[in-house]
Each structure stands twice: as structure tokens, then as C-alpha cells.
Amino acid sequence: MKKIDLRKELKYLYAPSAEKVEIVDVPKFDFVMIDGKIQPGETPATSQEFQDAIGALYGASYTLKFMSKLRKTNPIDYPVMALEGLWWTDSGEFDFNKKDEWKWTMMMMQPEHITEEMCQEALQKLRDKKENPALSKTRFESFHEGLCMQIMHIGPYAEEPRTIEKMKTFAQENGYSLRGKHHEIYLGDPRRAKPEALRTILRHPVEREA
């Protein structure tokens, strides 16, 4: 059986330094995705819609892994990739202090041999086992982020603003302007890790200033 490990193959994207901001060029990848928003008075931790979305993404990704591993022709085994999130507000920016205005796209990368047809089959398998309203919102889509800056944030999510400021300073000092959506990659399951042990890749698309 063939085995692949995208985290190792894409180490430059999924194992950045925690000491300095780096510039990377992110190619197009395929993802299982769900869109949503944080309702007034809620946070990601208290939002049932958000928790349902995470459950659907993990469920779909692990079902696809086992479908790939158990298929009769060209079986392929691989580790499931990390949960990722794009965050923004209606103003177009990500304001860390306005949680009840956050909109999000949660997603998990899939290997290139995984197809939309396989994804739909996996989602149906999940529906047959247990109903989750997020499954009807789940889609398979390509995403090309392009030129970005990124750094590893270690510690609670509440302490991310200091790392975000470090990124903004880097951009200003090196002739980059921000574009697109704030991007977080959660190494490990955020539902289970202790806050002080959380490792989160913070990424933001940039472009060279004229």
C-alpha cells in the first residue's frame, strides 16, 4: 500500500518558525470546507454551529482517509491534515476584539487523489450514521492562497494579538501590504489540547507594495 504524508512533504508550510515571520508562496490545494459566522453573544467555543462544523470536517476527512486506504485499486494511506480556518468581518479585516462579528471558513486539506465524488460519498456515509446540520453545508473546493507571511504562535488563542502585531510590523518593515483573510492552522485538535500547549500557524496573504 502506498503511503503519503503531506505534512512532511509540505514542511515549509506546516512547520514554520515561532521566532520569526517568514514569506511563503502557497500553491493551490483541495479542501473540504464549511462557511459560517459567530452569532451575537457567542464565541467559537460556545457556538453550536461552529462545533458542528468542526465535527463534520473531522468526520469527512477521516472517512475519506479510510475510503482511500481500503479501496481495492491503488489504496493510499495518509495522515489526516490539520484543521484550518479563514477569519474576517464585514469590514474586510479581522478584528480580534469583535468576536460576535467574525465570519469563518473552516477547512481541512485533502490529498490530490481525493475527488469531489469521493467527498460526497463520505458525507453520505456520515449522514447515514448520525445527522449533523453542518454536513449539508460541507463542500469540496480548491483554494489558492499565493504569497503569504506566516509564523507559529505557541500558547492560548487569546494571546494571538501580540503575534499578529509582530506580523503587521514585519509587513510594514519589508514592503508588504495585507490582502485576503486572516488564516489559522491548528496543529492538533483544538477541542482537546491545553491552552498553553496550543500550536497555531498564523498566516496572512500579502502583496508587494508598489
Strand 2-3 vs strand 76-77: parallel, antiparallel, or unpaired? parallel
- Asked whether the beta carbons of 185 and 199 are under 8 A apart, the reply is no
pLDDT of residue 175: 96
pLDDT of residue 101: 80
Low-confidence ranges of the chain (pLDDT < 70): 189-191
pLDDT of residue 31: 98
pLDDT of residue 64: 98
pLDDT of residue 8: 93
pLDDT of residue 197: 79
Q: Which domains are assigned to the chain?
A: 2-208 (3.20.80.10)
pLDDT of residue 192: 72
pTM (2 d.p.): 0.92
The three cell numbers locating residue 106: 473552516
pLDDT of residue 158: 85
pLDDT of residue 189: 67
